[in-house]
Amino acid sequence: MSKEWPLWEIFIRGQHGLSHRHVGSLHAPDAEMAIKNARDVYTRRNEGVSIWVVEANNISASSPSEKGPLYEPSESKIYRHPTFFDIPDEVGHM
Amino acid sequence: MYAQMIKSEASTDDPEKLKEFQAKIDANIKVEPRDWMPEGYRKTLIRQIGQHAHSEIVGQLPEGNWITRAPTLERKMILLAKVQDEAGHGLYLYAAAETLGVSRDDLTEQLLNGKMKYSSIFNYPTLNWADIGAVGWLVDGAAIMNQVPLQRTSYGPYSRAMIRVCKEESFHQRQGYDIMMKMAQGTDAQKKMAQDALNRLWYPSLMMFGPSDAESVHSTQNMAWKIKMNTNDELRQKFVDQTVPQAKYLGLTIPDEHLTWNEEKGGHDYSDPDWSEFFDVLKGNGPCNVDRLEARNKAWDDGAWVRDGLMAHAEKKKAQVAAE
Ligand SMILES: [Fe+2]
Ligand SMILES: [Fe+2]
């Protein structure tokens, strides 16, 4: 069997004004073909106005075992949310 | 359904970890590719998602057979769109399987050498245009029964693939039913073709759900892992109950003289398909098994020069850019 095409991760901007979002992956020999294939499978029903493709092995990801040290510290910092502060009604909308 | 008789693999993992894992699943927390998972869970999922993907791909063959012979340009474009969708479904599922550590080419190879299966239904032929209607109506209808609950499956990438698939699937069933309506309201000869298609495809469609597995240990394990959401009998019952009024509307008769409404259970009683035929088809003796595998092998072999050529071109371009 010949060499397998690399895997690409596909990101699509669904509408003007929105961010690109990960929608899935596909195999393609290069970026140009990855975009063409992504257009053929992931935008068949007006799902997109723009496509990003990234070769999967170029993505670095946080590891599931780091979940605690990475995300728990923010749980105790409730003052980062506006609802932490009581503002008197008389002050009006803030 | 598109994955039949999936045996669950035994796990030899640490019992503590297994317990934690099960608790996570019971709490409906999705398992993602880099999370710890039991080896049995991983292997069973690869088998199930792989078989599901193969079914989408092989399932293109019986319908593709009629693209060039569709009765109008509009029907041709619709069928083409439907068959293209199925290629996409195969892709989503292969991609989900790949997150479990198997390569796309590995899976393809196992389909081509017969080690992995695809759904028994695609080993039946599509003899005339009415069959295309019946396939959309019954086969996609049965697939939907299975795929809708799988949107809630525990494995994140599989669940997301199912959500995409389900969005596209109802178009498939409706286009099939639309063909059936046209045929059933047509000339006597057309109506006869519609009835004949239903006669031939009814029991193979019931077989798609697989034999009763209410007491199977594999089924119990796979349901605990939430990679199987309902028993085969539950889904088959739902399918029968849904299809009976649809057939009635068409003025067609379901080929089962024992089919009756059972007030007590709130569902229809119906006859089982011939399970010895089912096992025979799985073994490779269905009407089209040989054709289907030959067609997939030929497509793979004939396409090799294209895959290699594009890869060589991509590598050459990369080297040129690097040299600049
Ligand atoms: Fe499909
Ligand atoms: Fe479909």
A16 is a domain residue: yes
pLDDT (average), residues B250-264: 98
Q: Which two tokens stand for residue B38?
A: 């039991």
Q: Are B85 and A33 a contacting pair at CB < 8 A?
A: no
> Range of A19's domain?
7-61
**Interface ipTM > 0.95:** no
Weakest mean pLDDT among A19-28, B116-125, B315-324: B315-324
Residue A47 included in any domain? yes
pLDDT tens per residue, range B44-72: 999 999 999 999 999 999 999 999 999 99
Residue A80 in domain: no
Residue A22: inside a domain, yes or no? yes
* Each residue's pLDDT tens digit, B76-105: 999 999 999 999 999 999 999 999 999 999
pLDDT at B249 > cutoff 90: yes
Is any Cβ of chain B less than 8 angstroms from the Cβ of A24? yes
> Which of B98, B104, B311 is nearest residue A3 as measured by Cβ atoms?
B311
Determine the pLDDT at residue B285. Answer: 95
Please determine, for residue B315, whether its predicted confidence score (pLDDT) is greater than 80.
Answer: yes
**Alpha-carbon distances of B236 from A28, B59, B289, rounded to whole Å:** 39, 20, 24
Residue B32 has pLDDT above 70, yes or no: yes
Q: Which residue in B32, B95, B311 is closest to A25 by CB distance?
A: B95
Q: What is the mean pLDDT of residues B211-227?
A: 90
Whether the CB of A41 is below 8 Å from some CB of chain B: the reply is: yes
Subunit contact A4:B103, Cβ cutoff 8 A = yes
A76 touches chain B (CB under 8 A): no
- Alpha carbon B306 to its chain's center: 28
pLDDT, residue A2, reads 67
**A53 inside domain:** yes
Residue A39 covered by a domain = yes
Name the average pLDDT for chain B: 95
Whether A43 and chain B come into contact, CB under 8 Å, resolves to: no
Mean pLDDT value across residues B253-279: 97
Do the Cβ atoms of A3 and B109 come within 8 Å?
no
B36 to A26: CB separation less than 8 angstroms, yes or no: no
B36, B98, B311 member nearest A29 (Cβ): B311
What distance in Å separates residue B223's CA from the closest CA in chain A?
Answer: 25
Nearest-CB residue to A29 (from B36, B103, B313): B313
B206 CA distance to ligand 2 middle (Å):
16
Are the Cβ atoms of B308 and A29 closer than 8 angstroms? no
- Residue A87, domain member (yes or no): no
Kindly report the pTM of this predicted structure: 0.94
Q: Which residue of A has its CA nearest to B109?
A: A1
- What mean pLDDT, rounded, does chain A reach? 94
Q: Which of B84, B104, B310 sits opposite A4 (nearest CB)?
A: B104
What is the rounded average pLDDT of the residues A11-17?
Answer: 94
Nearest-ligand number for the alpha carbon of B92 = 1
How close, in Å, is residue A72 to chain B by CA atoms? 18
Question: In terms of CA atoms, which chain A residue is nearest residue B304?
Answer: A2
> What percentage of residues in chain A have a pLDDT greater than 70?
98
Predicted confidence band of residue B107 (pLDDT cuts 50, 70, 90) = very high
Amino acid at B64: G
Task: Determine the pLDDT at residue A83.
Answer: 93
B98 CB neighbours in chain A (<8 A) are 7, 25
**Given a cut of 90, is residue B2 above it in pLDDT?**
no
Number of the ligand closest to the Cα of B169: 2
Cα first-last separation, chain B: 53
Domain count, chain A: 1
- The CA B89 to ligand 1 mean position distance, Å, reads 5
Q: Is residue A17 part of a domain?
A: yes
Q: What would the pLDDT profile of A34-46 be if each residue is shown by its tens digit?
A: 999 999 999 999 9
* CATH number (domain holding residue A34): 3.10.20.520
Q: Is B308 on the interface with A (CB under 8 A)?
A: yes
Each residue's pLDDT tens digit, A59-91: 999 988 888 999 999 999 999 999 999 999 999
Q: Residue A79's beta-bridge partner residues?
A: none
pLDDT at B210 over 70: yes
Q: How confident is the model at residue B6 (pLDDT cuts 50, 70, 90)?
A: confident
